[in-house]
Amino acid sequence: MGSEREHTGRGFERAPSGVTVATLDRAALRARTRELVDVYLDAYRGLERYAYSGRRRVALYVRWLWRGDPEGFLVAFAGDRAVGFAGCHRSWESGEHGIEAELHELVVVRDRHRQGVGSLLLRAVVASARARGARAIGLAVASGNARAQRFYERHGFRAEGTRGDWLRMRLDLGDERS
């Protein structure tokens, strides 16, 4: 199996639940793609309207997230089990704001919800983007996913408007709340 670099030594932290966050090299991504597809499909249960469908499409999406920015593709592990992941591209054309980081995905398996895993991943994403010079992070969250919207608001993201079924949110990285 490939290398999984734990990020706890560079501004990232260990959750009280013993979860760690790591990046994956290409070999580790290949070895864990099936598991990451399972994480994604589990996290989107009940929200299928907003998700990619089919294992093959989800696998392609996971690989696209990693290829776009391997340092921004972070996986949460409980022991050796992947329990969540986030994909954030450091350089993304956001339209009105120019180039900034874009959080494309943050998912946590349902049996680990409300245990701090999502917050740990988001803090790791913010720290990684900030360390690599990003001034802001944008994201799109499903307009029908009020729980996720509240989660991002608690971490300092602010709504900027809607596009179809999506609410655009943004975090200025000068804001230290996240």
Q: Which domain holds residue 27?
A: 4-172
75 located within any domain: yes
Q: How many domains in the chain?
A: 1
Which DSSP state fits 77?
E
* Residue 96 belongs to some domain of the structure: yes
8 Å CB contact between 117 and 108:
yes
Q: Report pLDDT for 22.
A: 94
Give CB contacts under 8 A, 24+ apart, made by 88-94. 88/125, 88/128, 88/129, 88/137, 89/65, 90/129, 90/132, 90/133, 90/134, 92/138, 94/138
We report the CATH number of the domain holding residue 132 as 3.40.630.30
The reply to whether 178 falls in a domain is no
The answer as to whether 37 is a domain residue is yes
Per-residue pLDDT of the chain in tens (178 residues, 90 and over written 9): 454 444 433 334 445 568 999 999 999 999 999 999 999 999 989 878 888 889 999 999 999 999 999 999 999 999 999 999 999 998 655 556 545 899 999 999 998 888 789 999 999 999 999 998 888 999 999 988 899 999 999 999 999 988 888 999 999 987 554 4
Instruction: Classify residue 106: in a domain, yes or no.
Output: yes
